[in-house]
Amino acid sequence: MNENASFSESQKQASVAAQIAELASMPMSELWTVWDRYFQDRPQYPNRTHVESRIAYKMQEEAFGGLAPETKKRLEAIGAKHSQIKLRAKPREFDFAPGTILLREWGEREHRVMVTAEGLFEHEGKTFKSLTAVARHITGAHWSGPLFFGLSGKGGAQ
């Protein structure tokens, strides 16, 4: 039984490897079709290498599972410690519980933003990385997201 399990695992690996190898020969139009299966948005400045590598990661993640949350945090911490790139924005001052709803009236409408389990922000079916991105989407202009939603200080409302 164990022999069959390892055989099927190696078949799975070969199948995923073959799918990834096919990416290099696909026309970009087909590559975008595969991309859209895994991602909601296309990259702002796409290049083929980036697109192929992100799709390949998602294929492997789908077949074999993703990294454990602790591993992701550890890798992010190592990357931040050793990165030559200095972050422009300061870290998020607010730590919202998943499911938190932020409300804002704008343009004679009430806008509802929900914090996802991943710490992202969902508004009208779209996901955003920051409140500032949500505010820009709603208003069409640059706003501080926390200011737009009436937040100040360490996670509290005004």
Q: Which residues of the chain register pLDDT less than 70?
A: 1-7, 86-93, 153-158
Which pTM value belongs to this model?
0.47
What's the structural domain count of the chain?
2
Of 52, 68, 84, which residue sits at a domain end? 68
pLDDT at 97: 86
61 and 10, same structural domain?
Answer: yes
**Does 82 map to a domain?**
no
**Does 43 map to a domain?**
yes
- Domain of residue 147 covers 101-151
**Does 87 map to a domain?**
no
pLDDT at 19: 93
**Does 91 map to a domain?**
no
pLDDT at 12: 74
Of 68, 92, 115, which residue sits at a domain end? 68
d(CA 108, CA 29): 40
106 and 52, same structural domain?
Answer: no
pLDDT at 158: 43
**Does 62 map to a domain?**
yes
**Does 117 map to a domain?**
yes
pLDDT at 79: 84
Could you tell me the maximum CA-CA distance found in the chain, to the nearest angstrom?
65
